[in-house]
Structure 1
Amino acid sequence: MSDENEKEQVKALTAKKKDNFSEWYTQILINSEFIDYSAVSGVIVFRPSSYYVWDKIREATDVLFKEAGIKDAYFPLFIPERFLNKEKEHIAGFNPEVAWVTGAGNSTFDERLAVRPTSETIMYDSYSRWIKSWRDLPLRLNQWNNVVRWEFKHPTPFIRSREFLWNEGHTAFATEKEALEEREQVLGIYSKVLKEVLALEGVPGKKTNKEKFAGAIASYSIEMLMPDGWAIQGPDFHNDGQNFSKSFDIKFTDKNGNYQYVHQNTFAISTRMIGIMVAMHSDDKGLVIPPKLAEIQVVIIPIYNDSNKEKILKYAEELKSKMKDLRVYVDSSDAYSPGWKFNEYELKGIPIRLEIGQKEYEGRFATAKRRDTGEKFTFNVDESESKIKGTLDKIHENLYNKTKEFLESHIHKVYDYEKFKDLIGKDSGFVQAPWCGSTECEDKIAEETKAKATNMPFDAQHDLDGKKCIYCGKEAKYFVNFARSY
């Protein structure tokens, strides 16, 4: 067997998405050279193509943050233990996951330092010094960073990693009304990025009290579905009220000269979204990356022999020059055959592949193949940019529509508990049911079905008159999406 065939064999996916989703997901990430495992369990290496995806997500989100008036800052990675202990509910929620630094060299620290699991406490120590007057408000800061959470036993790349990347928005307002108004704006930003950049759709709604963020008054999330019908939480937003401002003494003098505690919010989108993107769009041939996130949007593969190599390669470069605003790569390497390259770039999820050989050269055209549908088409070299840009837009639209249709077809509204249990047992996605608001019922449902209350969708909280709780039969106060969850 030749070296070429050996490498091609090693990179072939052996698991099928529908048959063994977990194994397929792992194979696709490794074989496509999207990530690598590190020497530390549960911590991955972002290879260039995956970090490029994150950089584009970060860039798109940050532009919208800045348009909204949210500024970037950076706070320390290490957090004194006394800071974490100031907000008891907060530390209780994170304590099992905290990694501690207890010394350096041969010395032991007088106080343990937490490796950032989240930044409320280190940031709010500064806020307490910076905010003195109503003129200092609102304070709306965001930081892009990494966090470490160590407790879980079965890490999955992107989906649940012991170190991950995210944004942390931390805002402070003079009034509760101003703080509450921010929710719609921030969730709107996240929804826009999901739809227009990642080609994904989710369900925005309010978390139950049991599922809310530790230290928050109320939590809100955009819940997503994976191809196996299990739910996973996407971006979130937390209204923290005055819980942290009272713990950290963040108060100001209002216009009447009275002391008031600020009202606060926190919000985040993380690299988990990359895992959801991979899972939802990719197939048994490899990755499928939305065009706005692809490090290479178009790959040109010249097909030549010794007699026409020079003119075919020159034609390839001419074709590339016609697409100046796109990310185009010409693979002119002699190390592998064109067929091997076709497979390689399908595996890596490049949105469009262009093939050019003798007939394309003579006819002044190119043969293109879409990664999402496999459709082939030809176009004249002089219409390259408009044709390819239009096709990239169609690819994005197709990917988004497919995920939206999948989500909508996997939301089942039920009123009968036996039907509820049957659907949950089949991992059928979100099972939407009326609920009385009792944590006891929520716990019983989880115990009996292994289903979690993901959120209470904003667009489902109507027509509750006369509806009874799916579990206890009492008057229902909410519709909740239940699902088995990552």
Structure 2
Amino acid sequence: MDKKLVETITSRDQDFAQWYTDLCLKAELMDYSDAKGFIIYRPYGYAIWENIQKYLDTKFKETGHENVYMPMVITESLFQKEKDHVDGFAPETAFMTTASGDEGERLIVRPTSEVLFCQHYAKIVSSYRDLPKKYNQWCSVVRWEKTTRPFLRGKEFLWQEGHTIHRTEEEARKETLDMLDTYNRLGRDLLAIPFVTGRKTEKEKFAGAVETYAIEALMHDGKALQSGTSHYFGSGFAEAFDIKYQDSDNLVKHVYQTSWGVSTRLIGAVIMVHGDDEGLVLPPYVAPTQIVIIPIQSQKQEVMDAANKLYQDLKEAGYRVKLDDSNRTPGWKFAEYEMKGVPVRLEVGPRDLQNGVVTVTTRHNRAKSQIGLDVVVSSMDQVLKDMHQDLYNNALNHVQKNTFVAKTYDEFKTQIEKGGYIKMSVCGEEAELIIKADVQATARVILDEPLVTELCPVTKKKATQTILFARAY
């Protein structure tokens, strides 16, 4: 590894936050714009998001969801229509002004689009035959965050937001949990991240929701990251926006509604779960480039002929492959692609070619091996599968090693300073508020597990549920 490249990256254990920022910039995932809190998604960072999009968009369409696009602005009067929703977002909303001095109604740049979908659904639904409506939108939203960090929290971020309406409560509740499962499988199958899933507490649920479910990931530094949410709204929004239909029994009824979304925050999760002191470690199925081919002694014709053939064969087999035939030294190239987390490096040199092999290095464990030139393409599927599983297992092991149970509040306070998830049975919101004030930890999800203690260690009142707590981004 080229130390000149690595010297600009702070060690994870020395300063995790600085390591993260260094890596986002050095690996060319993003850059800062002149407007504070707004980032530029560079091609390499945006390509990661595109692969997440492709995975989810395919899953959504397989389950009958359709993509739409709503306006980026919401009139103030429309936004005020759902009071709970406004209370949840009012501190974060951005208002637009016009250069013409138009004194018409003020416009809000969307922080989310519930009210836009509700208004539209009220216009287009009249009968049970119109249901369900299962829409999804890929867009950006603006929330006026005071403290920002690339991908994790910004004034503008990219996301998908699904909004569905249904004939029955049962159907809407199933949709809510089905989408939570889709997000969980995204972590398992694409990102190599083991999410913890569950319902949010009343205090932590989305404004206006009956129930909110979340996927939570544990970062290398022991902090949690809420990585996606799925909300069951019941008929609250439908009643506020008069979304009604005539059922088969001729009675007029309100619909039941859901909303669910993930954002470019997932890129931050991939960085912080898998990265190391040398740079990114990208899971192979989400990596923009899965395989890079480095010719050794590229001036030799036989080397370039073999490298080019390998490139064409891998490309035709469907892999995202790059051939770096630039005039940089092999050492510089090794360091560069380690920094960018490219899963597999293939070295093609004259000595190896004489023996009919190429040298293969896997980024996550830096293991080197030699594979017959004639079986490289047929071997790659298993190489990538093994790498993905290794990364998932490593992340799962990190979660298991850093999940603790607290029977007393003193145990809880001692452990929270070390990081990780902590299971504790509490009495409810009163305990949550005390914990947040004392140690800045929050309830991540409610666990479907037996009570750890009969009494809440925080308030000494009767415990009602076991909750997974952590400090979080």
TM-score range (shorter-chain normalised) is over 0.9
Give the corresponding residue for 2:258: 265
Give the corresponding residue for 2:471: 484
- Per-residue CA deviations over 1:94-134 (Å, capped at 9, x if unaligned) read 1111111122x323241111111000111111100111111
Matches within 5 A, 1:338-353: 338-353=330-345
Give the corresponding residue for 1:76: 71
- Per-residue CA deviations over 1:326-348 (Å, capped at 9, x if unaligned) read 122111111x2111111111111
Pick from 36, 50, 56 the counterpart of residue 51 of structure 2: 56
Percentage identity across aligned positions? Answer: 38
Q: Is the 8 A contact 1:322 1:382 kept in 2?
A: no
Q: Is the 8 A contact 2:302 2:350 kept in 1?
A: no
Pick from 176, 196, 206 the counterpart of residue 199 of structure 2: 206
Pick from 93, 112, 121 the counterpart of residue 115 of structure 2: 121
Aligned amino acid, residue 226 of structure 1: M
- Residue 440, structure 1, aligned to residue 430, structure 2: yes
- Residue 132, structure 1, aligned to residue 126, structure 2: yes
Q: Is the 8 A contact 2:51 2:288 kept in 1?
A: no
Give the corresponding residue for 2:159: 166
Give the corresponding residue for 2:445: 455
Measure the CA separation in 2 of the matches of 1:115 and 1:467.
47
Aligned amino acid, residue 246 of structure 2: T
Pick from 219, 225, 228 the counterpart of residue 226 of structure 1: 219
Pick from 22, 25, 45 the counterpart of residue 27 of structure 1: 22
RMSD: 1.5
Aligned amino acid, residue 30 of structure 2: I
Give the corresponding residue for 1:195: 188
Q: Is the 8 A contact 1:101 1:114 kept in 2?
A: yes
Q: Give the superposition deviation at 1:270.
A: 0.8
| Change in CA separation of 1:126 and 1:192 when aligned onto 2, cut-off 3 Å | same
Measure the CA separation in 1 of the matches of 2:5 and 2:352.
32
Deviates more, 1:68-77 or 1:10-19: 10-19
Matches within 5 A, 1:260-409: 260-304=253-297, 306=299, 309-323=300-314, 324=316, 325-334=318-327, 336-409=328-401
| Change in CA separation of 1:118 and 1:328 when aligned onto 2, cut-off 3 Å | same
Measure the CA separation in 1 of the matches of 2:102 and 2:313.
62
Measure the CA separation in 2 of the matches of 1:177 and 1:14.
51
Measure the CA separation in 2 of the matches of 1:385 and 1:10.
31
Give the corresponding residue for 1:95: 90
Q: Give the superposition deviation at 1:398.
A: 0.7
Measure the CA separation in 1 of the matches of 2:170 and 2:294.
57
Q: Is the 8 A contact 1:175 1:262 kept in 2?
A: yes
Give unpaired runs (5+ residues) of structure 2: none
Aligned amino acid, residue 207 of structure 2: A
Aligned amino acid, residue 203 of structure 2: K
Matches within 5 A, 1:6-17: 9=4, 12-17=7-12
Matches within 5 A, 1:391-430: 391-427=383-419, 429-430=420-421
Pick from 472, 482, 486 the counterpart of residue 459 of structure 2: 472
Give the corresponding residue for 2:102: 108
Measure the CA separation in 1 of the matches of 2:427 and 2:136.
36
- Name the SS for the 2:11 alignment partner: coil
Aligned amino acid, residue 326 of structure 2: S
| Change in CA separation of 1:420 and 1:305 when aligned onto 2, cut-off 3 Å | closer
Q: Is the 8 A contact 2:72 2:109 kept in 1?
A: yes
Q: Give the superposition deviation at 1:11.
A: 6.2
Question: TM-score, length-normalised on structure 1?
Answer: 0.94
Give the corresponding residue for 2:40: 45
Measure the CA separation in 1 of the matches of 2:414 and 2:6.
39
Q: Is the 8 A contact 1:49 1:294 kept in 2?
A: no
Measure the CA separation in 1 of the matches of 2:382 and 2:368.
14
Measure the CA separation in 2 of the matches of 1:16 and 1:116.
38
Measure the CA separation in 1 of the matches of 2:230 and 2:40.
28
Q: Is the 8 A contact 1:97 1:117 kept in 2?
A: yes
Q: Give the superposition deviation at 1:451.
A: 1.1
Give unpaired runs (5+ residues) of structure 1: none
Q: Give the superposition deviation at 1:465.
A: 8.7
- Name the SS for the 1:197 alignment partner: helix
| Change in CA separation of 1:305 and 1:406 when aligned onto 2, cut-off 3 Å | closer
Measure the CA separation in 1 of the matches of 2:405 and 2:279.
34
Q: Is the 8 A contact 2:298 2:325 kept in 1?
A: no
Q: Is the 8 A contact 1:11 1:32 kept in 2?
A: no
Give the corresponding residue for 1:216: 209
Q: Is the 8 A contact 2:344 2:361 kept in 1?
A: yes
Aligned amino acid, residue 67 of structure 1: E
Q: Is the 8 A contact 1:202 1:223 kept in 2?
A: yes
Q: Is the 8 A contact 1:138 1:171 kept in 2?
A: yes
Measure the CA separation in 1 of the matches of 2:442 and 2:287.
34
- Name the SS for the 1:291 alignment partner: coil
- Name the SS for the 1:480 alignment partner: strand
Aligned amino acid, residue 463 of structure 1: P
Q: Give the superposition deviation at 1:463.
A: 2.5
Q: Is the 8 A contact 2:76 2:107 kept in 1?
A: yes
Measure the CA separation in 1 of the matches of 2:183 and 2:74.
28
Aligned amino acid, residue 236 of structure 1: T
Q: Give the superposition deviation at 1:305.
A: 6.4
| Change in CA separation of 1:433 and 1:425 when aligned onto 2, cut-off 3 Å | same
Measure the CA separation in 1 of the matches of 2:406 and 2:269.
27
Measure the CA separation in 1 of the matches of 2:159 and 2:87.
22
Measure the CA separation in 2 of the matches of 1:353 and 1:441.
51
Q: Is the 8 A contact 2:425 2:452 kept in 1?
A: no
Deviates more, 1:390-399 or 1:320-329: 320-329
Q: Is the 8 A contact 2:424 2:469 kept in 1?
A: yes
